[in-house]
Structure 1
Amino acid sequence: MLDTISFSQKQRLAYIDFSLLFKGVIYRQDVINRFEVGLSAATRDLNIYKELAPDNLHYDARERRYFQTPQFKPVFEHDARRTLTKLANDISDGFDAIGDIHFPVESPSSLNVPDIFIVARLVQAILNNKAVNVIYTSLSSGSGSRELVPHAIVDNGLRWHVRAFDRKTQSFRDFVLTRISKVTIKDSPEQQEQAQADAEWQRLIPLQLVPHPKNVEHPTAIEMDYGMENSQLLIQVRAAMAGYLLRRWNVDCTERGTLKGAEYQLWLQNRFTLNNVDNLAIAPGYGKGGNR
């Protein structure tokens, strides 16, 4: 049936498929607003989708919207890498599943790609403000059941993780997506388990990055690379993300810029701002010659 459908209608069907997979729900008005089509056209698209996959959705007349069913299986194949990038940039279309335009731009290959269905369940839980039960395999304790309250999916530069309140330790933590093998959506969280209570997530800290004082012979090149003004780049980051960013960009976090090597082209000039930030064990040189 898909072979006889126009490209523009495939786009709308892919959008319906994407919304059901990641949001668990779709309104007829969503299709109307996204594609600027009329009510009859949106209704026709949803009916065609239901013909293609009758077990994927059910209509709730009271709420006037379609819900994902427990038997849901996507009609289109959503590429994990592209979909994660789109989710990170708030692009919810699913067009890559129907052969979207491929731009001649490449990025380094990722060694670990999360299961797209695990991501979808977590995104649903976040959007609907629900807790989840997961099977998680950690390096220290192996596989086990955990109850989490997720509030963000994050790319830390090397891998994807979910930021969540862990009911076992009663704290907010990061959980690697590829180590989650099952997700079951549960109850609504308590107030102290939600994103607003995640102090490290809510707290913004300034990072003052400058060309490395010892490793860079021509600092102007580094200033151009990062669009620096007055020989510095000042950015605000979440405290929970600071360590990841500093590691990703190989920022020397020693007190006097003493790390050697061509990979250290940036130095953190205002190191004192990192006081009382939790995840800095991974920041290059942070434990050397300073207040930790």
Structure 2
Amino acid sequence: MAYIDFCLLFKGAIYRQDLIGRFEVGLSAGSRDFSLYKVLAPNNLTYDARDKRYFQTDTFVPLFEHDPRRTLVKLANDISDGFDAIGDIHFPVESASSLNIPDIYVVAKLVQAIVNNKAVSVIYTSLSSGSGARELVPHSIVDNGQRWHVRAFDRKTGSFRDFVLTRISKVTLKANPALSEQSLADEAWQRKIALEVVPHPKNINHPTAIELDYGMEEGVLHLEVRAAMAGYLLRRWNVDCTKHASLRTGEYQLWLRNQETLENTDNLAIAPGYIGEEKRYE
């Protein structure tokens, strides 16, 4: 029943065959589980005979407690304990933990939107404009090393941006989005850039130690990351992104040797020492 509850919460629907296939039970056993769930939570699901699927109702209240931090971590690593539907949910959950814990209902609605390719209306509170209504088309959930956010097309600005999960409330599913609002149109998400990270040439006296720490080959760590994620990674690792390795404090043990690779990349205001790119973080 925990599996049924999880599917209803995070996917918005469940087929009887989903339960049968996951636990390799017979049709009669699967039917009994759904019947018992309906006895325990009669207002949580409704059956669509034409679609042959159970759907979450507007009055749905989870029968089980689903911890948001554990759920997000399991989604990020495609880990299932057998009682959830992690293995059945496939969409990008990028990791660059977190000090904050997002609301489980907000996470669930966003996952539903991503899995079912829906837009959402939300109330979002930003640092620049305060609280207000937004229409978003989410496609991925990201752990940037400090907090969780959702990557989405923002209809207000007409661009793809990052929205902090804990600043989102009152999520409502809407109609299917246009192709131009979906993940394949997110150039910064689809484009990969190559980073060449080396021991800081001015702050490190014994670079071999750093090379060993990061498994560098011939003194260089080669990384390929999504352009949309580059700023988060560089900030998390305190990589000096100045052209001439000019950040001279001990926290900067790494330097980005090929700074030019960041050209035409958004969200670099958070990259240590990098100058000249527009910030795209809400």
TM > 0.5: yes
Select 1:286's aligned residue among 268, 271, 274: 274
Distance 1:94 1:283, change over 3 A: farther
Q: Secondary structure at the match of 1:215?
A: coil
Select 2:163's aligned residue among 175, 181, 203: 175
Aligned counterpart, 2:253:
265
Q: Secondary structure at the match of 1:86?
A: helix
Select 1:220's aligned residue among 189, 199, 208: 208
In 2, the alpha carbon distance for the partners of 1:218 and 1:173 equals: 40
Q: Report the alpha carbon displacement of residue 93 of structure 1 after superposing the two structures with TM.
A: 5.0
Q: Secondary structure at the match of 1:282?
A: coil
Select 2:57's aligned residue among 66, 69, 86: 69
Matched ranges for 1:1-292 at <5 A: 13-91=1-79, 95=83, 110-287=98-275
**CA contact 2:47–2:53 (8 Å) conserved in 1:** yes
In 2, the alpha carbon distance for the partners of 1:175 and 1:220 equals: 39
Q: Report the alpha carbon displacement of residue 88 of structure 1 after superposing the two structures with TM.
A: 1.6
In 2, the alpha carbon distance for the partners of 1:43 and 1:144 equals: 44
Q: Secondary structure at the match of 1:148?
A: strand
Aligned counterpart, 1:106:
none
* RMSD (CA atoms): 1.9
Aligned counterpart, 2:88:
none
In 2, the alpha carbon distance for the partners of 1:92 and 1:55 equals: 27
Percent identity for Structure 1 against Structure 2: 74
Aligned counterpart, 1:8:
none
Aligned counterpart, 2:280:
none
Runs of 4+ off more than 4 Å: 92-96
Q: Secondary structure at the match of 1:280?
A: coil
Task: Identify which range, 162-171 or 31-40, moves more after superposition.
Answer: 31-40
In 2, the alpha carbon distance for the partners of 1:38 and 1:168 equals: 49
**One-letter amino acid of the counterpart of residue 63, structure 2:** V
**One-letter amino acid of the counterpart of residue 79, structure 1:** D
**CA contact 1:15–1:93 (8 Å) conserved in 2:** no
Q: Report the alpha carbon displacement of residue 221 of structure 1 after superposing the two structures with TM.
A: 2.5
Aligned counterpart, 2:89:
none
TM-score (norm 2): 0.88
**One-letter amino acid of the counterpart of residue 251, structure 2:** E
In 2, the alpha carbon distance for the partners of 1:261 and 1:81 equals: 34
Contiguous gaps of at least 5 residues in structure 2: 85-96, 278-282
Distance 1:188 1:249, change over 3 A: same
In 1, the alpha carbon distance for the partners of 2:155 and 2:9 equals: 26
**CA contact 1:56–1:69 (8 Å) conserved in 2:** yes
**One-letter amino acid of the counterpart of residue 23, structure 1:** K
The alignment of Structure 1 onto Structure 2 pairs a total of residues equal to 265
**One-letter amino acid of the counterpart of residue 15, structure 2:** Y
**CA contact 2:98–2:145 (8 Å) conserved in 1:** no
Q: Secondary structure at the match of 2:269?
A: helix
Contiguous gaps of at least 5 residues in structure 1: 1-12, 97-108
**CA contact 2:68–2:107 (8 Å) conserved in 1:** no
TM-score (norm 1): 0.86
